[in-house]
Amino acid sequence: MEHHEEKKGLLAEAVALREGGRKEEAREALVALAARYPDDAEIAYQTAWAHDVLGLEAEAVPYYERALAETGTEAATAIALTPEDRRGALLGLGSTYRVLGRYEDAVTLLTGAVGEFPEDGALRTFLGMALYNTGRHHESVRTLLRLLAATSEDPSVRAYKRAIEHYAEDLDATE
C-alpha cells in the first residue's frame, strides 16, 4: 500500500507543477514516473498531456497510446483510466493525430471514441475537423450540423433546429 501511496503522491506533485505553470518540470517528473511505472495508464495519460501543453505533440503520442492500450495479460497489475480520463485521452490523441497530419488515424480513433462517448460534443467536433482534413466534406459538415442542432442555445439556431437536422442528412437538398 505504501508503494501505491508513494506513486499517487509523486503523480499529484507532477500534476501540481503543470497546473502551477512549471510545465517543463512537470514533463520531466512525469517522464521519470512513466519510465518507473510503465503499466500505469493514468501516469501515461498525464505524461502525454504534459507534452501536449508544451506543443510536443509527436512526443505525446506514445504516452497517449500507452494510456489507451489494452493491457492483456498484465490487466491484474495495470492501472486503468477512469472513464473521464479515457475520454480525455481519446480526445487528446485524436486531436494530436490531426495536428500531426495523421488524419486517417484521427478519424479512426475519433469515430470509435464518439461511439464510446456519443454525447461528447468535443469528440464530435474534432471528428468533424478530421473528416474535413481527409476530404470527407459532406460527413464533416453533417457531423458539425448535427452537433450544432443538438447543442446550440442560440435562439436563432434553435428556431431552425428541424431544418438544420433535415439538411444535415441531405446537404444537397433544396427543400
Report the b/e string of 112-132 with b at 16+ CB within 10 A. ebbeebeebeebbbbbbbbbb
Q: What is the pLDDT of residue 72?
A: 45
**Which residue from 46, 101, 48, 98 is spatially nearest to 111, judged by alpha carbons?**
98
Instruction: Decide if 2-73 and 83-169 have a common fold.
Output: yes
Range name among 11-25, 32-46, 101-115 with the lowest pLDDT average:
11-25
> Which CATH class, in words, describes the domain spanning 2-73?
mainly alpha
1: exposed, middle or buried (Cβ count in 10 Å: 0-12, 13-18, 19+): exposed
Domain limits of the chain? 2-73, 83-169
What's the pLDDT band for 12 if we cut at 50, 70, 90?
confident
Q: pTM to 2 decimals? A: 0.86
Rounded CA gap, 157 and 153, in Å?
Answer: 7
Q: What is the pLDDT of residues 87-99, one digit of tens each?
A: 999 999 999 999 9
Provide the grid cell at 38. Answer: 510503465
Range name among 46-55, 71-80, 88-97, 106-115 with the lowest pLDDT average:
71-80
Domain spanning 83-169: which superfamily? Tetratricopeptide repeat domain (1.25.40.10)
Rounded to the nearest integer, the mean pLDDT of the chain is 90
Rounded CA gap, 155 and 146, in Å?
Answer: 16
Rounded CA gap, 45 and 139, in Å?
Answer: 30
